Structure 1
Amino acid sequence: MGLVKYTQYLYLIIAAAFIYDGITKLNDPANNYWLSFVIAAVSIFMFFFRRKYAKKFDDHYKKQ
């Protein structure tokens, strides 16, 4: 269960990378910058989703 606690932060790193990518693509109208922001938003959502369920499963195993 210890690895799951640390892999959720990988989503934040991915989100930061795609936010940076989207900001750099804002200056060039030929690039699709919105796709980078959508992927970043999904990564942030996945971070909170995984964090919630990791805590839920951890609490469940502590009760047993």
Structure 2
Amino acid sequence: MQFTKFFQYAYLVFAGLFLYDAIINWGHNKSYVSLALAGLAVFIFFFRRRFNKKYDNKNDSK
């Protein structure tokens, strides 16, 4: 279970990389795709963090 807690932060790293790519390629069609992928990565980070908290709370109550 510890691996999944570490892996959720990888989504923030990917979001940073996509933002960097969007800034470098600003004005091209590729920059919008990179911005969308960065937004998706941030969404997935918060979704997985919420899911992991729910899962941990469920296991603690047993």
TM-score relative to the length of structure 1:
0.91
Q: Does 1:6 align with 2:6?
A: yes
Which residue identity lines up with residue 10 of structure 1 in the other structure? A
User: Partner residue of 1:52?
Assistant: 50
- Write out aligned runs for 1:1-64 (5 A): 1-26=1-26, 29-64=27-62
Which residue identity lines up with residue 16 of structure 2 in the other structure? A
Go from structure 1 to structure 2 and tell me whether the alpha carbon gap of 1:40 and 1:51 turns closer, same or farther (over 3 Å shift).
same
Structure 1 segments of 4+ aligned residues over 3 angstroms from their partners: none
Name structure 2 gaps, 5 residues minimum.
none
Displacement of 1:59 = 0.6
Q: Cα RMSD between the aligned structures?
A: 1.0
> Number of matched residues?
62
TM-score relative to the length of structure 2:
0.94
Go from structure 1 to structure 2 and tell me whether the alpha carbon gap of 1:22 and 1:30 turns closer, same or farther (over 3 Å shift).
closer
Name structure 1 gaps, 5 residues minimum.
none
